[in-house]
Structure 1
Amino acid sequence: MDRKLFKAAMDGHVQILKQCNQLECQSTPTGNTVLHIASLNGRSQCVEHVLSTCTPLLKTVNKKGETPLHIAARKGYADIVGALIECARTQGKDMESGFGVVEEMVRMVNEEKDTALHMAVRNGWVKVGELLVREDPEFEYYGEFPGSWWAHGENRLACSGDSQRQRNDIKILEKKRFLTDIADEDGWTPLHYAAHFNHVKMVRLLLKQEKSAAYTPNKEGKTALHIAASRGHTESMQELISECPDCCELVDGRGQNALHVAVENNEGGAVGLMLKNPLFGSLINEKDVDGNTPLHLLATWGCYIRSLIIEPRVDKSAYNAENLTALDIASCTHQFSTLKVCQMQI
């Protein structure tokens, strides 16, 4: 590619681009066209000019199989993604595929089988992701879909109080119900992330669409309730318990229920919530894979959660797999404050 043309596209000098009449003939050694370069550098005016004078570059791929849409989506340039989509919309249908040019472009995959949407969500560009999904709502996307896309992002969540945004979320989830089940590489679904960040309205919305998500474990075996309990997010916990009461019984890969997890993380509020709820009555003295009850974990980690210590239903004489009581552990680990209170309650 001509050096002046390359720099013009990179730096946003539209006037220089206007002096070239054969933009489609120019490319870099890696196959990037002027439209790729302008998209990569966020030069929206250059993108608009190229689209108006050389539309065929819209679907041109570089040596990685990437279209300008892939690149703009990866960088998070929503204005450029919008311009590319609008240009494609004016092209009608592709004669070979029979699809609209927009749909065909959105569905194009690079050499790693990624669509532009995959790139957007992997990099956390929520607004770009929304644009792409809404443009082709019937397409079934496969591959890596970080669950955080639907449960994280300060500018789009239903919990932000934006009623229009919430309605949009509902419409997308109704069309794309499978999105509620998609997990990232750690097994986290959108509901896991919503519980982690205590996005209560999103928790409610996801459960409304698919209650089974409450029973889905991540790779550590933790459900959304485990996650919420570990963070002390009592509002999200209440939503989960209310909609799916039997999810309280689920244990993670270490055999721990939500009460174990809350104690281990010293989340007294979460512990208090569960102790007051009859659903957890039979779980107060449950043991994990090491034979530890929640009280054993309290002693192990030196936590001070008075509500558990003084709870009359707690079995303070229970032994773990090492034949130790919580008092034994408190003594061995020199957790004297915990030890003193436990002794007072026996």
Structure 2
Amino acid sequence: MRIDEIPFVTTPLHVAASNGDIEFAIEVMMLKPSFGREGLTPLHFAAEKGDVHLLAGVLSVCPKSFEDVTVRSETALHIALKNNEFEAFEVLVKSLEGINHEDNRFWNKRILNWKEKYGNTVLHLAIYQNQPQVVRCLLKGEVDVNAKNSDGLTALDILLAQTPPGNAELEEMLRGAGASEAYFLPSIDPFARTASKDQRLKKATEQGDLDALYALISEDVYLLEHIDEVPFVDTPLHMAASAGHIQFALEIMRLKPSFVRKLSKHGFTPMHLALQYEQTQMVLRLLDVDRNLARVRGREGKTPLHYVAEKGMVEILFEFLADCPESIRDVTIQRENALHLAVKK
């Protein structure tokens, strides 16, 4: 059996990591990234554990590993700070300064100001953790003191919002480096003042505007991920299915396949909504993509097949049964199959 097909297994990467075979471990991770937990590279692991010797070893073999990020878009710098490994953090910063890279200044600045999933740079994290020593270390480099996170907050905003009041030494350092509150900074996107990201996404979906969708994704690469974290939500796919925007819906399905089975706040999948709004072509295209969508249970355990049987939508009923005959066996929470529902109605 292939190693990666086993859900829990000691892979060659586990063995290499245990033995300290850095080059071998890095090669295995490049060949099979899924062997790394949550996208953790050997550099991330060393930062997490505060192993400064391993950090030095990894960086000597692969200095560009600074660019690698986890599934949460965290660099090794983020991970060291989050785990209170301040010595490891300082080693990483000094190593970053010493790396010879084409356009070294720009590269260092990009790594130092990298934003994780929630838009926090390492300066944001250092303020959250009240670490003057780390902040002082960062201010010596080219850290952006006025970078905003996903909530629109600068490091100074976070400090001033702390209860009890934030560290006076930190405030003095930040202001001395030119830090401002977000309120006093010019807006990068003037349109954001009149329309929130959610409103813009809703408008793009209602119009089936793919260019607007990708413009939003370019601003926030985790846009669809954030939506998927909510257990019951009307996703852009639900809205597109209701409106009959087929190309938009297919693109969303390609970008975020999990949306197609996600339940809205009212307990419906995109397929259920397409049926309710009589978007027949949308229903058939969704079925072309995945025939098993006829079996996805929504509110009260009803599948799309149950819905069409209940509503007497004979043509679509034929399509469902032809593409997914096993769907006839599905029952609701009342133990009713499509036959029961058709007779009842």
Q: Report the TM-score when normalising by structure 1.
A: 0.42
Bigger radius of gyration, 1 or 2? Answer: 1
Instruction: Report which of the two has the higher share of helix.
Output: 2
